[in-house]
Amino acid sequence: MTLKTPFKDARKLAYLNSEGADKPLKSPVSDHVLAKARAYRLNRFRREMARHDVGALLLYDPINIRYAFDSSNMQVWTAHNAIRYALILADGPAILFEFKGCEHLNEGLPGIDEIRTAIAWMYMTNGDKARAQLADWADEIVDLMREHTPDNMRLAADKLDHPGVKALEDRQLSLVEGTQLTELARAIKSPEEIELMRWTIRVCEAGMARIYEHSIPGITERELWAHLHFENARSGGDWLETKLLTCGPNTNPWYKECSDRVCQAGEMIAFDTDMIGPYGYCADLSRAWICGYGPMNEVQKRLYGAALDQINHNLALLKPGMSYAEFNAKSWRIPDPYVDYRYSLALHGVGMADEYPVVPLHVDWSDRVAKGRFEPGMVLCVESLIGEAGSECIKLETQVLLTENGAERLDTFPWEQI
């Protein structure tokens, strides 16, 4: 294999093997694993429906629809256009209401009992006739619940605009907030889900290696970010949730999006992948390294060392049964010079996207933080952002599976040597 620029770190070269460098990565995941993951996920929703005593669950969030059915039609577009939805009835059928003309995209998905054409009631699609469409939509939902769950007319919904809420309540349905149900269901992963997630992380790391390979003076932030898009898309992934790759002074303050700024030798390049990859799972990893592969200066070494200390300290704390409050009390304390440039989160859950729970940094802890405990099967992202006045920022993040024995890292892309 010939690389355009030589790697200064042979550890990272392994991620650009002949398969990953020259052609899309091929998933080793078997149909059996995928089938078990699909069945587990739908059952998780049904279990939470029973626990929350709802007659049906209405889904508009495309990530929840994919979780339930592995159906992934136009996910980004339908995230902001309410034109595709699903209804899971307690002890009844699971129905996908698909965008007209797209019904065939769901062939072979075993969790779907019935496919119907979705009724859109957005102003964009119906203008002054939206009210009539809304009535038809609401009547269909109510009729299905009266048929299949006549003794329980409580409907949980994850995302529903106000006209929809009013139309259903006018028809004597009792609306229940559904995101608590879906977040709790998705929080615990099956072994098969972890296998799917490991593959998404493998694809993400191949994209990170491409970024590393091209981290040379003269390249722009956007050009570097495009390499992650490229690897994800050609290996069956979906999209990137953010545009967080910056270099040099653009790293501080954090959250600037990638731009056409040209990276200079010796500057820090920092990024957060937020990648929705193959099988719809998220690889949420952060790294920072030097443009041009040179050594860090003394300030960069000090900041990077602090970021890695935070990651390693908080990672070592994690164990099943620990409360979020106990974790906060024992978590790494950010030094005063770095406080104003901190990341607000110590860790968060992740699955098909960033998920529950979210545990703030100790500086941001309050009585509004959710109560709860870490459980085996959770996948968590442990975060660090370290910077100070006039410096660059170091962004690091690792993705871990919580087991009975503690936290197991799912990513293997190496940290920098300082």
Q: Which of 119, 144, 177 is the last residue in one of the domains?
A: 177
Confidence (pLDDT) at 26:
86
CB atoms within 10 A of CB 320: 16
Is 123 contained in some domain?
yes
Are 90 and 21 part of one and the same domain? Answer: no
- Report the C-alpha gap between 181 and 45 in whole angstroms: 7
The residue type of 300 is: Q
Cis peptide before 357 (omega within 30 of 0): yes
Domain extent, residue 303, equals 10-27+188-409
Residue keyed to tokens 């970024």: 211
Q: What pTM did the predictor assign?
A: 0.94
Are 390 and 252 part of one and the same domain? Answer: yes
- Report the C-alpha gap between 326 and 339 in whole angstroms: 21
Are 130 and 271 part of one and the same domain? Answer: no
Are 226 and 131 part of one and the same domain? Answer: no
Are 117 and 67 part of one and the same domain? Answer: yes
CATH number at residue 118: 3.40.350.10
- Report the C-alpha gap between 381 and 311 in whole angstroms: 10
Q: Which of 177, 197, 219 is the last residue in one of the domains?
A: 177
Query: Which among 180, 63, 174, 84 has a CA at the least distance from the CA of 137?
Result: 84
Which pair of tokens denotes residue 201? 């992380």
Are 104 and 194 part of one and the same domain? Answer: no
> What backbone phi and psi angles, to 5 degrees, belong to 349?
-75, 160
Are 118 and 213 part of one and the same domain? Answer: no
212 torsion bin: left (phi>0), alpha (psi -120 to 50), beta (else): alpha
Q: Where are the alpha helices (DSSP H) in 150-297?
A: 162-170, 179-187, 191-213, 221-234
Is 209 contained in some domain?
yes
Are 69 and 208 part of one and the same domain? Answer: no
- Report the C-alpha gap between 123 and 120 in whole angstroms: 9
Which pair of tokens denotes residue 317? 């704390």
> Number of structural domains, the chain?
2
Confidence (pLDDT) at 24:
79
Residue keyed to tokens 């500057």: 267
Chunked in runs of 10, what are the mean pLDDT values of the chain (418 residues)?
Answer: 49 54 81 97 98 98 98 94 96 95 92 96 91 96 97 97 96 96 98 98 95 97 98 96 98 98 98 98 98 97 98 98 98 97 96 97 96 98 98 98 97 94
Query: Which among 8, 16, 3, 10 has a CA at the least distance from the CA of 292?
Result: 8
Residue 10, H or E segment:
helix 10-13
DSSP classification of residue 356: E
Are 207 and 320 part of one and the same domain? Answer: yes
Ordered DSSP codes for 56-72:
EEEE--HHHHHHHH---
Q: Which of 177, 212, 238 is the last residue in one of the domains?
A: 177
Is 41 contained in some domain?
no
In contact, 55 and 93? CB cutoff 8 Å: no
Is 44 contained in some domain?
no
